[in-house]
Amino acid sequence: MTIKTASTPEQKYTAVHQALIETYGEPAWRQHLPPVDELVSTILSQSTSDINRDKGFYALKERYPDWESVINAPEKEIIETIRSAGLANQKGPRIQEALHYVQTERGEIGLDFLQDLPLDEAKTWLTNIKGVGPKTAAIILLFAFGRPAFPVDTHVHRITQRLGLIGPKVTADKAHAILENIGNPDTFYPLHLNLIRHGRETCTARNPKCMVCPLQMYCYYYQAGQHAS
């Protein structure tokens, strides 16, 4: 099979985006959660499944009437409430600290101001919260506000490395800026979701299904024959 090598990263990015739309469709943006809810949910999502994340998140929402009540609750109580999300001993205090930071800095527990803040400033503001890195900041900005940030989770990182959109030694944290620089902002939401789906269904970490992958012709990993090992 002939491997198509796009002349620029931008062209490859566009080709991959179109191929995944043809395979999975084009997701339309919708707000997943309100901004502060998204912050808490994303902290809970670290190193766990979506199902366990949601169990922890909705346990918090059911037990406490508002986020201020979460701040003021005993730490051990929060930890027990989110036990199903995993790593509760770390995530419980982290959630309380993040909410307290927002309240202290803004005088309220709200993030709506990020909608109008310049994008770089919004990212910096969020990553100043302890435990919030580029991925969490990008998720909040993209999913809660529809702003042009490109979250890089394990699926996105793995696939974009295999494709050669990012270098083999580029970290997930650094991949955010690279992908944002080569892609059209209007594509960030659908491509992010389609890459996650592709990573779960086809381009898996182990035993990827390269022989049925619609991205074969753009993929350095496939070209190198690593799929056969």
Which domains are assigned to the chain? Answer: 9-28+151-228 (1.10.1670.10), 35-145 (1.10.340.30)
Residue among 96, 88, 93 at smallest CA distance from 53: 88
Q: From first to last of the 229 residues of the chain, give the pLDDT tens digit.
A: 455 555 799 999 999 999 999 999 999 999 999 999 999 999 999 888 899 999 999 999 999 999 999 999 999 999 999 999 999 999 999 999 999 999 999 999 999 999 999 999 999 999 999 989 999 999 999 999 999 999 999 999 999 999 999 999 999 999 999 999 999 999 999 999 999 999 999 999 999 999 999 999 999 999 887 665 4
What's the rounded Cα separation, in Å, for the pair 145 and 125?
15
Q: Are 60 and 40 in contact (CB under 8 A)?
A: yes
Of 61, 135, 169, 209, catalytic: 135
User: 15: exposed, middle or buried (C-beta count within 10 Å: 0-12, 13-18, 19+)?
Assistant: middle
Is 135 among the catalytic positions?
Answer: yes
The token duo for 226 is 């690593």
Torsion of CA 87, 195, 23, 2, to 10 degrees: -130
Residue among 179, 192, 175 at smallest CA distance from 139: 192
Q: Are 101 and 129 in contact (CB under 8 A)?
A: yes
Output the pTM of the full model.
0.91
Distance set, CA 176 to CA 8, 71, 133, 157 (Å) = 18, 31, 11, 9
DSSP string, 156-194: HHHHHHHHTSS-TT--HHHHHHHHHHHS-GGGHHHHHHH
The token duo for 60 is 């918090």
The token duo for 142 is 């993209």
Distance set, CA 151 to CA 67, 86, 132, 175, 208 (Å) = 25, 22, 13, 9, 22
Q: Are 227 and 221 in contact (CB under 8 A)?
A: yes
